[in-house]
Amino acid sequence: MEAIIQSVNGFRLTMPEIIAYPIILSFFVILWCRYKWNRRHFDKLASSLKGPPAYPIIGSALQFIGTPQKLMDSILKIIKDYSPGPFKIWLGPYLGIVIIKPEDVQIVLNSSKALQKDRFYKFIKNIFGEGLLTAPVDKWRIHRRLITPSFNSSLLSEFFPVFHEKNKILIKNLKSELNKTQSFDLWDYIAPTTLSLICQNAMGYNLDNQSQCGSEFEKAMISIRIGFLRVVKPWLYPNIMFSLYLKLKGDSNVFNNLYKLPLKMIREKKEAFEQKKIENESTVIIDDTNKEKKHSKVFLDTLFELNEAGANFSDDDFRDEVVTMMIGGSETSAITLCFCLLLLAIYPDIQDKVYDEICDVLGDGDQKITIVDSYKLVYLDQVLMETLRLFPVLPILLRELQDDVKIVSDNIVLPKGSTCYICPLATHRNSLSYPNPNSFDPENFAPENIAKRHKYSFLGFSGGPRGCIGSKYAMLSMKVLVSTFLRNFSVHTDYTFDDIKLKLDLLLRSANGYPVTIRTRTRKSMKK
């Protein structure tokens, strides 16, 4: 039968069209209503919270578009406008609630319903796979329990010979910059050192920093930071768009390059492990007095042994845990150390005070630092903590809530399925906890001042069950490096505190590097 043609407002429609269009429209209206109904608790909470402007589909993403420095500026502005929260942020269609007050943070970080890393971590899964940092909760529970003993406090002293050896190389390399008037970037020396430290201490692998592999890994790390910027570029969310983007930038091989060194280490260490097993000498060494003594295994050997005992790590599991340790254990410390030394260069009085303490504990000679000495360097400890307060390497942590979580502020219930943004940067710069939050003042971490504050007002290493597994190792290794550095050189800069501009590309960094000059240390401790 011939279709009936009708004229509707000047448009000519066939009868099937007249029937189909309202059906299609109703279908979308129903879908939309269902979507809104399912998310009514998000919308209800969102309507009661302040937050930056948001638009359908993209949310507040427009605020964050631009360079890593612009991204950081936007974050700082939002924190300033909405602190101390809680406040909302829509990223794409996803509701996030930013919490800043220590009492709220304590609840979320310790809640069993907030252990899951947020969906946005999937973008860094390209890098870390399912290592501890990014692993889903079930896998994380098993791996965390197995891996924790490798960084147990009782083993920390065993890392010292490697600390000494690698710092000796650092000092030798730094001598090429001695007494120059032109500043250099601390990063170029510190980053290879921390990478080399973690490779040897966790993987038992002696990395020659000048080797092709080491520098290739570091280069891949630089390209990989762009992976993180996907979070604020919704058009790169689909994998196909991201692959295309990498191709256009000539970076399509970046992940293969990143994995080259970890895979090489695993292969070689596994061969050595198998060999030792055959010789049945895997855990026994003979000491000077010819007595047999247990030699603690490095982290990677522990993984091999656990696997033998039935832990069932796949090849990907090995790779992911090793990459996580390499990046989590080196970049974080390198950034903190660079900021710390730059701050000491900006504040020579504080540098002198740190140096005096080092001389008190270690003397003016070249006696090697021990673990007991490092515990006595309490002012240096304060300086490092204050550095992490001002420049927390991970300025924002994201948790996807697997159930409702009630926080203290206004008795708000954070709904299941929403994202909780914990913001160390904002918590650390809150004047309720720190009287002059934007100044460098190591006295903030004097014991009497720590006692006045909430425990969760410092989040440099996060907290709760998913807090940093390597915090004690990190503090010790940083203390050894800074004290060795300052025993050899004084550090100087033209920078002022306000010259430090920040950027965020996976981690928080100085946008213009860490420019300093160094001189042979002439001043001996004033206390002598």
Annotated binding site for heme: 468
Among 85, 329, 395, 515, binds ligand HEM (CB under 6 A): 329
501-520: which residues touch ligand HEM (CB under 6 A)?
A: none
> C-beta of 167: minimal distance to ligand HEM in Å?
15
- The piece of 185-193, 286-294, 390-398, 434-442 that touches ligand HEM (CB under 6 A) is 390-398
325 binds ligand HEM (CB under 6 A): yes
96 binds ligand HEM (CB under 6 A): no
> C-beta of 398: minimal distance to ligand HEM in Å?
7
87 binds ligand HEM (CB under 6 A): no
Nearer to ligand HEM, 68 or 328 (CB): 328
For residue 480, give the nearest of 393, 345, 391, 361 by alpha carbon. 361
- The piece of 50-58, 355-363, 367-375, 470-478 that touches ligand HEM (CB under 6 A) is 470-478
- Which of 253-260's residues contact partners 24+ apart within 8 Å by CB, and which partners? 254/220, 254/223, 254/224, 255/126, 255/127, 255/220, 255/224, 257/216, 257/217, 257/219, 257/220, 257/223, 258/127, 258/217, 258/220, 258/221, 258/224, 258/323, 259/319, 259/323, 260/213, 260/216, 260/217
For residue 228, give the nearest of 133, 309, 304 by alpha carbon. 133
State the burial class of residue 240 (Cβ atoms within 10 Å of its Cβ: 0-12, 13-18, 19+): exposed
113-152: which residues touch ligand HEM (CB under 6 A)?
A: 132-133, 144, 151
> C-beta of 326: minimal distance to ligand HEM in Å?
9
> C-beta of 350: minimal distance to ligand HEM in Å?
19
231 binds ligand HEM (CB under 6 A): no
Nearer to ligand HEM, 52 or 328 (CB): 328
Q: Kindly give the pairing relationship between strand 11-14 and strand 5-8.
A: antiparallel
361 binds ligand HEM (CB under 6 A): no
469 binds ligand HEM (CB under 6 A): yes
Question: Phi and psi (nearest 5°) for 296?
Answer: -65, 145
Alpha-helical (H) ranges within 391-470 are 424-428, 447-452
The conformational region for residue 363 under phi > 0 = left, psi -120 to 50 = alpha, else beta, is left
468 binds ligand HEM (CB under 6 A): yes
Q: Cα–chain-centroid distance for residue 90?
A: 23
Written as one string, the DSSP assignment of 182-242 is: S-EETHHHHHHHHHHHHHHHHH-----TTSHHHHHHHHHHHHHHHHHGGGG-GGG-SHHHH
Longest CA pairwise span in the chain (Å): 109
Nearer to ligand HEM, 332 or 427 (CB): 332
Please tell me whether the peptide bond between 395 and the residue prior to it is cis, using omega within 30 degrees of 0: no
A 10 A CB-CB count for 270 gives 17
Nearer to ligand HEM, 22 or 467 (CB): 467
- The piece of 58-66, 251-259, 463-471, 508-516 that touches ligand HEM (CB under 6 A) is 463-471
Which H helix or E strand runs over 340?
helix 315-346
Strand partners, 398: 421
396 binds ligand HEM (CB under 6 A): no
Nearer to ligand HEM, 132 or 186 (CB): 132
**Which single residue brings its beta carbon nearest to ligand HEM?**
470
Q: By the 8 A CB rule, do 365 and 420 touch?
A: no
Nearer to ligand HEM, 85 or 328 (CB): 328
466 binds ligand HEM (CB under 6 A): yes
The number of CA neighbours under 13 Å toward the Cβ of 190 is 29
Q: By the 8 A CB rule, do 315 and 323 touch?
A: no
394 binds ligand HEM (CB under 6 A): yes
- The piece of 254-262, 357-365, 404-412, 462-470 that touches ligand HEM (CB under 6 A) is 462-470
> C-beta of 474: minimal distance to ligand HEM in Å?
4
Nearer to ligand HEM, 333 or 351 (CB): 333
A 10 A CB-CB count for 19 gives 10
| Paired tokens of 111 | 């809640």
CA distance linking residue 486 with residue 151, whole number of Å: 27
- The piece of 159-167, 287-295, 391-399, 513-521 that touches ligand HEM (CB under 6 A) is 391-399
> C-beta of 170: minimal distance to ligand HEM in Å?
17
333 binds ligand HEM (CB under 6 A): yes
- The piece of 78-86, 306-314, 330-338, 510-518 that touches ligand HEM (CB under 6 A) is 330-338
Strand partners, 510: 502
> C-beta of 179: minimal distance to ligand HEM in Å?
30
- The piece of 270-278, 282-290, 342-350, 466-474 that touches ligand HEM (CB under 6 A) is 466-474
Nearer to ligand HEM, 54 or 221 (CB): 221
259 binds ligand HEM (CB under 6 A): no
463 binds ligand HEM (CB under 6 A): no
473 binds ligand HEM (CB under 6 A): yes
Among 129, 234, 328, 415, binds ligand HEM (CB under 6 A): 328
Q: By the 8 A CB rule, do 515 and 183 touch?
A: yes
Q: What 3-state class would DSSP assign to 19?
A: helix
CA 423-428-434 angle, 5° bins:
150
474 binds ligand HEM (CB under 6 A): yes
Annotated binding-site members: 468
Written as one string, the DSSP assignment of 343-376 is: HHHH-HHHHHHHHHHHHHHH-SS-PPP-HHHHHH
Residues that bind ligand HEM (CB under 6 A): 132-133, 144, 151, 202, 324-325, 328-329, 332-333, 336, 388, 393-394, 397, 460-462, 466, 468-470, 473-474
